[in-house]
Amino acid sequence: MAIFTIIRSAINLGTAFLFGCTGETITEKSGHLNLGIPGIMCMGALGGCRGVSIYLKGMDPSNINAFTLLLMAILFSVLYAGLTGMIYAFLTVGLRCNQNVTGLTVTTFGVGCSKYFIKGINTQNFNYASESLGRLFSFSENMGDFWQIFFGHGSLVYIAIIVVLITSFVFKKTRVGLKLRAVGENPAAADAAGINVTKYKYGAILIGSAVAGLGGLFYIMDFLHGSWEYDVDAIGWLSVALVIFTLWKPDLSILGSFLFGMLRILPTYISALPRDIAGLLPYVVTIVVLIVTSVLDSKENQPPAALGLSYFREER
Count of C-beta atoms within a 10 Å radius of residue 158: 15
Structural domain including 72 reads 2-315
Would you list the DSSP string of 226-267? T---TTHHHHHHHHHHHHHHTTT-HHHHHHHHHHHHHHHHHH
Highest-scoring range by mean pLDDT, 141-145, 288-292, 303-307: 303-307
Report how many domains make up the chain.
1
Q: Decide if pLDDT at 96 tops 90.
A: yes
Nearest partner of 291 among 251, 245, 223, 230, judged by Cα: 245
What's residue 182's pLDDT? 96
Task: Please tell me the predicted confidence (pLDDT) of residue 137.
Answer: 64
Tell me the range of 4-18, 34-48, 248-262 where mean pLDDT is highest.
34-48
Query: Is 169 within 8 Å of 27 (Cβ atoms)?
Result: no
Sign of the torsion formed by the C-alpha atoms of 242, 248, 250 and 252: negative
User: Region 305-315: what's the mean pLDDT?
Assistant: 83
Q: Tell me, what's the pLDDT at 142?
A: 64
CATH code of residue 174: 1.10.3470
Please report the pLDDT score of residue 138 as a whole number: 57
Confidence of residue 315 (pLDDT cuts 50, 70, 90): low
Segment of 36-45, 224-233, 252-261, 292-301 carrying the highest mean pLDDT? 36-45
For 49-69, how does the pLDDT look when each residue is reduced to its tens digit (9 = 90+)? 999 999 998 788 778 888 899
pLDDT score for 291: 80
Q: Which of 86, 93, 98, 95 minimizes the C-alpha distance to 43?
A: 86
**Which tens digits make up the pLDDT trace of 169-200?**
999 999 999 999 999 999 999 999 999 999 99
Rounded to the nearest integer, the mean pLDDT of the chain is 89
| Cα 252 to Cα 167, 206, 241, distances in angstroms | 12, 22, 13
Please give the pLDDT value at position 207. Answer: 98
Which residues have CB under 8 Å from 93's CB, separation 6+?
32, 198, 201, 202, 205
Q: How confident is the model at residue 270 (pLDDT cuts 50, 70, 90)?
A: confident
pLDDT of residue 298: 67
Q: Is residue 1 over pLDDT 60?
A: no
CA 255 to chain centre: 15
pTM: 0.93
**3-class state of residue 69 by DSSP:** helix
Q: How confident is the model at residue 231 (pLDDT cuts 50, 70, 90)?
A: confident
The pLDDT of residue 133 is 80
